[in-house]
Amino acid sequence: MLKVYHSQGARSLRVLWLCEEMGVPYETAEASFFKPSDEFKAINPLRTVPAMQDGDVRMIESVAMMIYIMSKYGPTDLEVKPNEPGYASYLQFLLFGEAGVAAYGNPLVATRFMAPDDQKQNWTAGYLKTAILKRLEFVGTMLGRQTLHRRRSLHRRGHLGLVHRHRRQVRWDRSGHSRIRPRLRRQPLAAPRLPARGGSEVRA
Ligand SMILES: N[C@@H](CCC(=O)N[C@@H](CS)C(=O)NCC(=O)O)C(=O)O
């Protein structure tokens, strides 16, 4: 069974959410980069979260884990194939969430929370904040480019409401493990496809 090394609020949520959507069985193990267990250190010497083990396979990159899970445990309707419309957008935003946005967050969080007081508001922290906001705005603009018809169609099919309901359904226990209510396991969710389908191809 897939074992996902996870901590609350970390990128491991991407992997758990995908497993939930696909109905892929998984277990979680505590992954703390402040107090890493020996088991976690053995799986991921970098101590970044998430890490994943699947038999002999070990992975430490969240989006790569998602691609692996879709390929190995699919097929899934969540994955857009090269011969389908929207493939370029799907691929782009799948990677953009990490490479284009979240990667900028690590040094910002580290500077704001860990740097000496006189360096917490330095020039680089300001640059990173602006860079992240600019990129989030870009995503918003691209999503806004979907036609009104497309958005109405998604609402009609209940997909957007489902995304919001899903967020409310995820609960966390004290060790940071997710507890997703069982009925969610049976529900499809189109969220990861939203930027990719129906609209024009997006080129950054
Ligand atoms: N690109 C990696 C980034 C992993 C990452 O930086 N995770 C954060 C937590 S969400 C972390 O472990 N930060 C601590 C560190 O970088 O040492 C991924 O997507 O898995």
In angstroms, the CA 157 to CA 159 distance is 6
Structural domain of residue 40, as residue ranges? 1-79
Cα(182) to centroid of ligand 1, in Å?
28
Assess whether 127 and 175 both reside in one domain.
yes
Assess whether 109 and 199 both reside in one domain.
yes
Assess whether 65 and 145 both reside in one domain.
no
* Strand ordering across the sheet containing 51-54: 26-30, 2-6, 51-54, 57-59
Pocket flag, ligand 1, residue 49 (CB < 6 Å): yes
Token digits of residue 157: 């099919």
- The residue among 169 and 146 whose pLDDT is bigger is 146
In angstroms, the CA 126 to CA 174 distance is 33
DSSP state of 49: S
pLDDT tens-place string over residues 93-134: 999 999 999 999 999 999 999 999 999 999 999 999 999 999
Q: What is the pTM of this model?
A: 0.76
Pocket flag, ligand 1, residue 33 (CB < 6 Å): yes
Please name the residue whose Cα sits nearest to atom 10 of ligand 1. 10
pLDDT tens-place string over residues 22-66: 999 999 999 988 889 999 999 999 999 999 999 999 999 999 999
Residue whose CB lies within 8 A of the most ligand 1 atoms, among 32, 40, 49, for a mutation test: 49
